[in-house]
Amino acid sequence: MSKKPRRSKVRAEFKKNYQQRKRTTDLTRKFHLDALDDESMTSRERVSGKGELTRRRTVVGQHVENAGDGLSVEMEFNDPCVVSGRVLRVHGLECVVRTEDGNAYRCAVRQVLKSISTDQRHVVAAGDVVLFKPEGTEQGIILAVHPRRGVLSRASKGRRHILVTNVDLVIIVASAAEPDLKPHLIDRFLVTAEQASLEPVIVINKVDLVQPSEFQPLLGVYAQMGYRTMLASASEGWGIDALRQAVRGRQSVVAGQSGVGKSSLLNAIESGLGLRVQSVSAENRKGRHTTTTAELLPLQHGGYLVDTPGIRQLELWDVVPEEVAGLFRDIRPYVSGCRFPDCTHIHEIDCAVREAVADGRIDPRRYNSYVHLIEDPGTSF
């Protein structure tokens, strides 16, 4: 029998300058009107957890054990007007929240949530389950964010950029041509999926532009590691039925670089979406940023699909170099066989990983992706 979550007072840390110290009196005027009593004045103030200068405040709410990513405190609200909903998209200071009955509200975020000290770029992300108070028939105020699971994120300028939350399937889309296939970027998405405990599916789109047999060796390497792979063409309708079955009833996110055809695949999977699409640039053969923000798209047969902006840089968040080898399925079994416990698997002698590469047990291209991720984690593709 599971334990009921306990109600407690939780000390939450806020950003700098959230509450500035105020002068309670005009000391100059008081000095001229009356002599100051030095003994009655406070000679010093300790900056502690309960003083006016502290950045921590007490929040009464529900403490959630092992809450995972996101806010681990759910505020208590007894107001019957407060309802639950899911964030469809975040655009600037405005969030679009959809309730269970299908109504959509344009919501702002409560100031106290925006002021909590966090390493995230925005305290609310697409996919979040939130509590909000409607203001009229179309607007509202987000009061709390439920604990998250299945978070797909990356590092951006030293902060955490959350692409989407509460998903269980990540569809990694790459293109066979226009733009060219980027296997190293696929590997980084796979590592990110491993870290977030998400099930990945690799989809090679635009195979109508090339000979599909060219990609069989690459897909064979991924299939040997247990990854599901698909060949598709949004323009010709190839592979759409299989992809539609894979996302039925699931919470799925579609990710990949710009121009690979993510929005085109979504339009083919679910009729009536009408997502904007553009061809790649004729100058540099790279995709244009048609999708500007992550958006949840409810499916007719149950579940959600999340369309995300194209990514040209995928730097891992909260992963130290020593952990990267453990996130590669094909490298992980050999890590414990190295001579040195802190082996980087790049230049050390008696390295079981390097020996496996030399013997052909690890694909050399996959090993190069590992080295590239360690030596240049913030590269652009």
Instruction: Give 348-366 pLDDT, tens digit per residue.
Output: 999 999 999 999 999 999 9
Lowest mean pLDDT of 58-72, 248-262, 325-339, name the range. 58-72
Residue located via tokens 């607007």:
139
Give dist(CA 89, CA 164) in Å, integer: 9
Q: Which residues lie below 8 Å from residue 351, measured CB to CB, with a gap of 6+?
A: 338, 339, 343, 345
pLDDT above 50: residue 131: yes
Give the pLDDT score at 191. 96
> CB-based contacts of 330: which residues, under 8 Å, 6+ apart?
224, 225, 362, 363, 366
Task: Average the pLDDT over 69-81 and give the result.
Answer: 57
Report the alpha-carbon angle 115-116-120, nearest 5: 100
pLDDT band at 273 (very low <50, low <70, confident <90, very high): confident
Contact 203, 171 (CB under 8 A): yes
Radius of gyration of the chain (CA): 26
Please name every residue paired with 161 in a beta bridge, in sequence order, or none if there are none: 154
Identify the pLDDT of residue 325.
96
| Cβ neighbours around 347 below 10 Å, total | 9
CA gap 156, 375 in Å, rounded = 17
Is residue 202 within 8 A of residue 227, CB to CB? The reply is yes
Does 77 have pLDDT greater than 70?
Answer: no
Q: What is the pLDDT of residues 274-328, one digit of tens each?
A: 776 655 544 444 445 456 788 898 888 888 999 888 887 888 988 889 999 999 9
Mean pLDDT computed over 113-123: 76
- CATH 3.40.50.300 residue window(s) in the chain: 167-307
Which CA distances in Å does 27 have to 23, 36, 41, 52, 310?
9, 9, 11, 19, 58
Note the CATH architecture for domain 321-375: Orthogonal Bundle (1.10)
- Assign domain 61-145 to a CATH class: mainly beta
Going by C-alpha positions, the residue among 211, 208, 289, 199 that lies closest to residue 251 is 199
User: What pLDDT score was predicted for residue 336?
Assistant: 94
Numbered ranges of CATH 2.40.50.140 in the chain: 61-145
Percent of all residues in the chain with a pLDDT value above 70, rounded to a whole number = 75
Q: What pLDDT, on a 0 to 100 scale, did the predictor assign at position 93?
A: 82
Start and end residues for every CATH 1.10.40.50 domain found in the chain = 321-375
Tell me the C-alpha distance between 217 and 229, whole Å. Answer: 12
Please say if the pLDDT value at position 113 is more than 50.
yes
DSSP state of 106: E
pLDDT for the residue 282:
46
d(CA 41, CA 29): 16
Q: What pLDDT score does 57 carry?
A: 54
Structure tokens at 133: 């108070």
Angle at 95 between CA 65 and CA 255, to 5 degrees: 75
Do residues 62 and 7 lie in contact, with contact meaning Cβ atoms separated by under 8 Å?
yes
Please tell me the predicted confidence (pLDDT) of residue 117: 62
Confidence at residue 25, expressed as pLDDT on a 0 to 100 scale: 59
- Is residue 156 a contact partner of residue 315, using CB atoms and an 8 Å limit? yes
Q: Is 166 left (phi over 0), alpha (psi -120 to 50) or beta?
A: left
Lowest mean pLDDT among 156-165, 220-229, 328-337: 156-165
pLDDT beyond 50 at 262: yes
Average pLDDT over residues 183-211: 95
Identity of the amino acid at 95: C
Q: DSSP code of 380?
A: B
At 136, the amino acid letter reads G
Residue 338 above 90 pLDDT?
Answer: yes
Helix (H, G, I), strand (E, B) or coil at 225: coil
Would the pLDDT of 225 be above 80? yes
CATH 3.40.50.300 fits 167-307, yes or no: yes
